Structure 1
Amino acid sequence: MRASRTAPIAALALALALALVASPARADDPAAVLTTGAAGIDGANVAVGDVLNASVAAGTTANFANAAGGSTGVKCAVSAFTATVVDNPAAPGVATESTTGHTFSSCTANITGVTKVNSVTVDNLPFGTTVDSATGAVTVTGTDTAPIQTTLSLGTILGSITCVYRATNGSISGVASNTDNSISFTDQAFSKSSGSFLCPGSGFFTATYAPVVDTTVEGGPVVFTN
């Protein structure tokens, strides 16, 4: 009996078909809310557990003004945040992060009676953070027991004082932009929780951090919001 010559060919075709089903092309994978290198499917999806970082944009300062849109207050030439990605679903959607660090230094003040800024410290970290791909909104939220709180140590003509401020609405909101891979906060309101009469009664936080990069990936590629 003659062996069929078509059997090996049929078996090979079946194996190739199974391989294609088991390993779909990466181009067919949906883009996540956060990608690196490029927006959409041209970028690489940011992995859960990756650490994102950004410093205040070059040539700008992180400001705590005494009034919305005001110029009186504290300005910091150096500031940076660090956040760990907790969830990064397919876009459109809401990515979740944990903000684990937020630092300020090289700060000056033009508040009456204040001679220097000893330190600016963000308390109660980490904070829950979300990124909404539909709007670009970045929301940082505290809790009743761990509110978003900033402590300013200031030198004055009467000695050092401590001023403690908490986010007025329990959270602060910024906007992510793919133009410069930034996150910008504008006039986010804080109320004085405790401190000397020399401490301003309120503070308004404004800063732009750019670019946001994924420090877990080699080369630290910039992060896009989809």
Structure 2
Amino acid sequence: MRRHTVVAIAATAALAGLTFLPATAASADSAVLTYGSAGGNAVAVGDVITGSLAGGTKASLATSSGGSSGITCTGSTLTATVTDNPAAPGTATESATAQTFTGCTSNVFGVTGVRSITVNGLPYTTSAASDGSVTVTPAAGGSIQTTVVLSTLLGSVTCVYQAPSLSAVSSNGTNSLTFTNQPFSKVSGSGLCNANGYFSASYAPLVDSSVSGSPAIYTN
């Protein structure tokens, strides 16, 4: 019998992506995170930042880096709360609290459907530096983890994947955050689960939903 391979989408990856690259003309005394414009109003501690997939894009987890085989989702949302927003240059922090995925399908042989994608171990800590670097980390001693339940030709299969940390590339020009081929490894699941997964997604715009009009977020 041909061996069936399945993969889990790295849902936690996008939870890191709530900040953007430094603005080229930011105010010298602005906060790291501002809304409405670069160097504009400081995002307040406690504000909730939300985002969805950029128009016309999908979130995916490939079975190989840069590959086309794996799981794709047409919808995804993320939510995080700002926990610190110092003056620029500096590092802002956020608590990633939720993420959802919808419209998920797989083109992997033997997989007939995606039943659920669950982010485990929330919240995660996101650190966003003024130089544009963004990282997401779990609590001490933990891992970033997601669980996917898939329907296969052999029945329901549960795959659990982990990563020690994640990174992304952000842009003030498009108010976008892009993850490319972020690696995850299988920690539990049957032999039908793929050993690795490579997460890619672009979220735009990310906005301060606690402010009237939900203005876009910038990093300075």
TM-score range, shorter chain: 0.7 to 0.9
| Aligned-pair CA distance for 1:145 | 4.8
* Equivalent-residue separation in structure 1 for 2:170 and 2:202 (angstroms): 10
CA RMSD of aligned residues (A): 1.3
Residue 71 of structure 2: aligned partner: 74
Partner of 1:4: none
User: Which residue number corresponds to residue 47 of structure 2?
Assistant: 50
Give the Cα–Cα distance (whole angstroms) in 2 for the partners of residues 175 and 131 of structure 1: 11
Shift of 1:144: 5.1
Are 1:98 and 2:95 counterparts? yes
- Pairing 1:203-218 to 2, within 5 Å after superposition: 203-218=197-212
1:1-226 equivalent positions in 2, closer than 5 A: 30-40=29-39, 43-134=40-131, 136-143=132-139, 145-167=141-163, 170-226=164-220
* Superposed displacement of residue 198, structure 1: 1.0
- Check conservation: 1:95, 1:131, Cα contact below 8 A: yes
Whole-Å separation in 1 of the counterparts to 2:133 and 2:151: 36
Q: Which runs of 5+ in 1 are unaligned?
A: 1-27
CA distance in 2, matches of 1:180, 1:29: 22
Q: What is the aligned residue count? A: 194
Q: For the Cα contact (< 8 Å) 1:213–1:220, is it kept in 2?
A: yes
Output the TM-score relative to the length of structure 2: 0.85
Q: Give deviations 1:76-125, integer Å, cap 9, x for gaps.
A: 11111111000001111110000001211110001111111111111111
Does the 8 A contact of 1:176 with 1:225 survive in 2? no
Greater CA drift, 50-59 or 28-37: 28-37
Higher normalized helix content (fraction of residues) = 1
Aligned identity (percent) is 56
Structure label with greater radius of gyration: 1
TM-score (norm 1): 0.83
Q: 2:148 touches 2:160 (CA, 8 Å); kept in 1? A: yes
Stretches of structure 2 that go unaligned for 5 or more consecutive residues are 1-26
